[in-house]
Amino acid sequence: MKLLPKLQRKFVNLPLRTKLVLVFAFTMLMVGFVNIYMQVSINSVVNTIDKVYASNISLNQLLDALDGVQDNMFRYLNTKSTSALNDYYVSEQSYSEQISILNDRATDNPLKITEKNIRSISDQYLQLTSAAVAAKRGRDVERYRSNYEDANRLYGYLNTYINELNNARFKTNAESYNTFRTSLGYMQTFSTVILFIAILGNMIILLLLSSTITKPLTKLARQAEQVGKGDFEVDFISVESRDEVGVLADAFNKMINSLKEHVSQIKTRMAEESRLKETQLRMESSLKESQLIFLQSQINPHFLYNTLNAGAQLAMMEGAEKTTLFVENLADFFRYSVKHAGQTSTLADEISQVETYLHIINVRFSGEIHYMKTVTGSIDRIAIPGVILQPIVENAINHGLRDVKWEKHIELTTRENGDHLRVTIFDNGKGMTQPEIEAILQGEPMLIEMEGQPHRGTGLKNVIERLRIYYGVQNVFEITSEGPGKGTSVSIILPKPNGHTLR
Amino acid sequence: MTPKETTIRKKSNIYMTNLSVIAVVVMVLVTIASVFVYRALIHSTVKLDSGGNRFFTYHIAMVTESQSDPFWKNVWLAASKEGAEMDAYVEWIGSSFTEQFPLAMQLEMAIDAKVDGILIQPDGSNEVKRLIATAIRQGIPVITVMSDAPDSGRQGFVGFNSYDLGQLYGQQVHVAMAQSPDQCHAVVLFGGDLSENTQNIIYSSMVESLEGTNVELDVLSIDNSNVFSAEEAIRELVVSSPSGGKAAPDVLICLNATNTICAYQAVVDHNKVGEIQILGYYDSDEILTAVEKRIIQATVAVDANRVGAASVDALMEYLQFSRTSDFTQVDLSVVTAGNVANYRQHITTAEETP
């Protein structure tokens, strides 16, 4: 009893192909077996019937042979012809041969007993016919007559017996025919039943097997779709069998498991990272804040202006006009720088800031730098980002004019040109090569040495970017130089004041 | 998925595979069962070559006048049974023939067939007597059954004492006479199966038994060689009117089973029950039923089984030891309405005991 569940488990765990092959091979074998069995049994029935029919045929032949013996004997006795004698011997031979295959033993089969009787009587009959023929040859009239009469009597008995046997056999044949018909009918029913059973069984098995295959697969597909949508909270698929479907389901379950794990890991990591970043940012911003507060506390502009104004008044009281002017300019410069850094200003203010700057610088450079201004058009209503021109002039001085031996000139020109206003600052310094111009326009910061220390200036990059953002146009800045020693000209191209005028 | 769901799902999965396994098993079982059923059916129908599996050393021929008499049929069955035990096959000559052959011819056939022994009920004819002698000359022992051929040289006789039979019938006529005391006309129906000698002994015995009574005893010999003659003759006798010369008999004494049944049928058909009393012979079911209905007053029964067995025994004794008793007596019994129930019980138990 324990064997059955074991076998069943084994079957369940077989690979699909083996399962299918096993099941179908099994049914095929069964049908084959039934077919073979049918063949064998039909053969045996046919054989039996053949035998009976053959016996009937042989009985008729026996009767013919007996008639032959009787006729030829009679012919010979009647005519004494040689041919009749020959015929007699031939038929006697044939009859004896046929008689010899008949049963000669007592048995409980009536047909066989009849055979035995036929054989016994035939033996005597043949003896009598031979004796009659011999007597005829010996011209013993009395004897051949009596022998003939006896033989004739036995011939009658033999005829009766053989006919009876034939009848009995015929009866048996009729019965066997019925039997044959019946068995054929049984066989038909039987094979039909088996066939139907096989078909039905196969269908049931197929249905069951396919459902064990397709059901988990369909479920698997549905769940895979769900997983594809990002839902990992799907049910585990349970497949009992250890076949391919079972393996697939297991693999799927494992995959979902590991996917779940991975996703949760990634989530944790991301949360940690964002927390870290936040801290860092907070730290940075507080640092900057403290720096700003520090700087602000250091450079209090009002304190600076007031100090510088106080210095100017002091210089005025002492009668040092130049100093007074210098300190006043310095104060203006700082005020403007602080006030307009990052704010919109006017072109006029920008130009005056440049002049202030140049004044301060000229004090440093002992008035070496000659400044010339050519302004056309109204410049006091044109809006421009604050602190634009001053850095350009500063650059021109620092890079272009610093080390030249000739007389240093800065020329500022504004010129209306169609739909735009061009502001050009030209210096007659050492000029620039094309690669240098490109580099500046690309926004690479230039390292310059200022008072022995590397200084990273505000740079033109900042200026260019602010102009581009402010006007929303790319083409706002131009540097031209005719080569080394020929000076540099930097132009800013301001679109015509229609939105950028100061109201 | 809760654990409950899991188990349900697992169960359904197993259930499916279980079902398919069960389907396969059922298929196998049905196939095997149908193979067996088919085999059984074929075996029950194919019985073409029944017999012929057993061989015997001796072949005994049983030769009787008629092959339809129920008494002889039972004798043959008993003889076959007894013979089978003693390694002999008993063939009832002529039973397989559609044609009815005369007794002498049947005997001739048996002799020509060179059987090992012959059981015969001789009819008393000389030809039969001659043929019995021929058989003995050819080395075939002959036992006569039920009637004898004493001077034929037969090896033995199995049967009843004819004198006893006559006495028995005489007594029964006495009983029958009690109902019609003044005048009684009794007719003895002899069949062709009894030799003249036997008939004479029976008749004489009856006459002796009825001496001093007013019974008129007539004899009617029915020639059995003519088929159906018995039935015709008996019918004629039953319907015969007093004005027609011969009055219908009061008592009919039948000496074989066929005549008994014919007489019974004729009496019933012609509404003569009570008028004509029948004294029958043999104990077939039909005859016993008639006894129960008091249509047949009494029947004298010979135990056919006993006859069959005794005759084969006698023959086999001779075949094996070259000697046997000259006369083996078989008891007679009278069955009347009074003892028919007991008798039936007796033969049923006898049949049941092997």
Using a CB-CB cut-off of 8 Å, the residues of chain A touching B58 are: 106
Stretch (H or E) spanning B88: strand B88-92
Mean pLDDT in order along chain A per 10 residues (503 residues) = 67 76 78 79 76 78 91 90 91 91 83 88 92 89 90 91 85 74 77 78 77 78 82 72 77 86 92 92 78 63 81 89 87 80 80 89 85 83 84 86 86 86 89 84 60 53 81 84 87 73 45
**Conformational region of residue A421, where left means phi above 0, alpha means psi within -120 to 50, and beta covers everything else:** beta
What is the predicted pLDDT for the residue at A272? 93
What is the predicted pLDDT for the residue at B316? 92
User: Is the CB of B14 less than 8 angstroms away from the CB of A240?
Assistant: yes
Q: What is the pLDDT along chain B (354 residues), one digit of tens a residue?
A: 445 545 555 555 566 667 767 777 777 787 788 778 777 776 665 555 555 578 889 999 999 988 887 788 889 999 999 999 999 999 998 887 777 888 899 999 999 988 999 999 988 888 999 999 999 999 999 999 988 888 888 899 998 888 888 999 998 888 887 766 677 888 898 887 777 888 889 999 999 998 888 888 888 888 766 667 778 888 888 887 554 456 778 888 998 888 898 899 999 998 888 888 899 988 888 888 999 988 898 998 888 888 899 999 999 999 999 888 888 888 888 898 888 888 888 777 655 543
Residues of B numbered 33-92 whose beta carbons fall under 8 angstroms of chain A's beta carbons: which are they?
34-35, 37-39, 41-42, 45-59, 84, 88-89, 91
A71, B306, B308, B349 from B292: Cα distances, Å: 60, 24, 27, 19
Whether this prediction's pTM lies above 0.90 is answered by no
The DSSP string of B221-242 is E--TTSTTHHHHHHHHHHH--G
Distance CA(B286)–CA(B306), nearest Å, equals 20
What is the predicted pLDDT for the residue at B343? 85
**Composition of chain B by helix, strand, coil, percent to 5:** 50, 20, 30
In chain B, ranges of CATH 3.40.50.2300 domains: 58-159+306-330, 162-281
Kindly report the number of other CB atoms within 10 A of residue A331's CB atom.
20
Q: How far is B118 from chain A (nearest CA, A)?
A: 14
What is the predicted pLDDT for the residue at B61? 93
What is the predicted pLDDT for the residue at B44? 65
Nearest to B9 among A52, A182, A238 (CB): A238
Residue type, A13: N
B228 and A CB contact within 8 Å? no
> Any alpha helices (H) in A80-140, and if so which ranges?
82-100, 110-137
| Tens digit of each residue's pLDDT (9 = 90 or more) over A346-402 | 888 889 889 898 888 888 888 888 999 988 877 778 888 888 888 888 888 888 888
Q: Which fold has domain B58-159+306-330?
A: Rossmann fold (3.40.50)
User: Is the CB of B96 less than 8 angstroms away from the CB of A168?
Assistant: yes
Cα A336 from chain centroid (whole Å): 70
Q: Which fold has domain B162-281?
A: Rossmann fold (3.40.50)
User: Is the CB of A109 less than 8 angstroms away from the CB of B99?
Assistant: no
Q: In sequence order, what E strands does A361-450 have? A: 369-375, 383-385, 408-417, 420-427, 447-450
B14 and A CB contact within 8 Å? yes
Distance CA(A144)–CA(A73), nearest Å, equals 11
What is the predicted pLDDT for the residue at B318? 92
Nearest to A164 among B24, B38, B96 (CB): B96
Write down the ipTM of this complex: 0.70
**Composition of chain A by helix, strand, coil, percent to 5:** 70, 10, 20
